[in-house]
Amino acid sequence: MKRDILERLLKARTDKVPVALVTDLSSGMQSLVFHDAVHGGFGLEDHHLAEIRARLRQDHSGLVEFPDVEGYEDEGPRLFVHAHNPPLRLIVVGAVHIAQLLTRMADLAGYAVTVVDPRAAFASEARFPGVELVHSWPDEALDALVIDARTAVVTLTHDAKLDDPALMVALRSPAFYVGSLGSNRTHAKRLDRLCEQGLSETELKRIHAPVGLDIGAETPAEIAVSIIAQVVAARRNAL
């Protein structure tokens, strides 16, 4: 890999720009394919670029079948597409004790983590070193964070005036996971309130509650394990 390619690849990752690294396995030549640009090495036809960009969107790395590429008949596919997408995101609403552990575990699992809590005493740098903190009201915060299909949202405040506005936004977003802390009883009341606010049954069914996989978790750390496990299971279509 040329230094130039490596540096551009690292910059794209820092800037959170999706990019596919395409390698010709027989020559070692490489190109970087962005959604709006191509940089480097060897010529790719428009229909190759379309396929490569589709795979980038699907986060699908692998060998690509381009029968019109020279040598395909003898050697088979020899172009490798390595999709580099920005990390999955986890937005945690409620800078509570469980959140302190969940954010560390999510970071280890490769998630970019944001904690939302207007209560500055909870969402403090001292309690969440190095974590992105947002102090605006949860609905405003989630609107500004622009939830996409690579985002998971977990509400942990236990407080209707903070959790409900967050859920109103999250349940109408393409988030791949929405979870909310609270017992069955708390959750039943929550569903009543959100229903009155105009959320549909389909939207309400998206909430994972009580949050987390049922592993008998008791301590904040154990609950955090159950939550991150459920987020991973949702992402990998294993729920």
Partner 1 sequence: MSDDILEQAARWRGEGRRVALATVVATWGSSPRPVGSTMAVDEAGAMAGSVSGGCIEGAVVHEAQKTMEDSEPRLLSFGVTDEMAWEVGLACGGKVQVYVEAVE
Provide the binding-site residues for partner 1, judged by CB under 8 A. 1-3, 6-7, 9-10, 13, 23, 25, 28, 61-63, 80, 82-84, 87, 110
Nearest to 239 by CA among 214, 203, 217, 220: 214
* Distance of closest approach, residue 226 Cβ to partner 1, in angstroms: 22
Q: Report, in Å, the least distance between residue 26 CB and partner 1.
A: 8
Q: Which C-beta is closer to partner 1: that of 33 or that of 93?
A: 33
Q: What distance in Å separates the CA atoms of residue 90 and residue 116, rounded to the nearest whole number?
A: 11
Cβ-contact 171, 178 below 8 angstroms = yes
80 or 137: whose CB is closer to partner 1?
A: 80
Helix axes 138-145, 160-170, angle to 10 degrees: 30
Residue nearer to partner 1 on the CB measure, 79 or 95: 79
Q: CB of residue 232 vs partner 1: minimum separation in angstroms? A: 14
196 contact partners, CB below 8 Å, separation of at least 6: none
Our CB check for partner 1 shows the closer of 96 and 106 to be: 106
For residue 110, the minimal CB distance to partner 1 (Å) is 5
- Of 140, 135, 171, 131, which is closest to residue 153 (Cα–Cα)? 171
